[in-house]
Copies of this chain bind each other. A is one copy, B any other.
Amino acid sequence: MSIEADPSVTADPAALDAADPLASFRRRFVIPDPDLVYLDGNSLGRPPLRAIERVARVATEEWAGQLIRGWDHWLEAPRRVGDLLGVGLLGARRDEVVICDSTTIDFFRLASAALDARPNRRCIVTDRANFPTDRYVLEGLARDRDREIAWLDPDPIDGPSVDDVGATLAAHPGDVALVTLSHVNYRSAAIADLPAITALAHDAGALVLWDLSHSAGSVPVGLAEHGVDLAVGCTYKYLNGGPGAPAYLYVRADLQAELRNPIQGWFGQAEQFEMGQGFRPTAGIGGWLTGTPGMLGLAAAEEGIRVSVEAGIDAIRAKGIALTEYAIALHDAWLAPIGFTLGSPRDAGRRGSHVSVRRADARDLTRRLIEAAVIPDFRAPDSIRLGLSPLTTSFADVARGIAILARLAGSEPAAG
Contacts and interface: CB of A to CB of B under 8 A. Distances in A.
B295 A294 contact: no
A63 interface: yes
Interface in A214-266: 234, 236, 242-247, 262-266
Nearest to A108: B263
Which of A74, A275, A380 has the most chain B CB atoms inside 10 A of its CB? A275
Contact of A60 (B30, B74, B101): B30
A296 B300 contact: yes
A337 interface: no
A266 to B, nearest CB: 4
A243 B101 CA distance: 14
Given A52-B60, A133-B266, A262-B140, A294 B47 contact: no
A334 interface: no
B295 A244 contact: yes
Interface stretch (A38-46, A203-211, A353-361, A399-407): A38-46
Interface stretch (A64-72, A189-197, A340-348): A64-72
A236 B297 contact: no
A274 interface: yes
A67 B55 contact: no
A276 interface: yes
**This chain: how many copies in the complex?**
2
A38 B65 CA distance: 11
Interface string A264-307: 11111100111111110000000000111111111010000000
A266 B56 contact: no
A67 B52 CA distance: 14
A139 B135 CA distance: 28
Contacts of A155: none
A103 interface: yes
A387 to B, nearest CB: 9
Contact of A245 (B38, B133, B294): B294
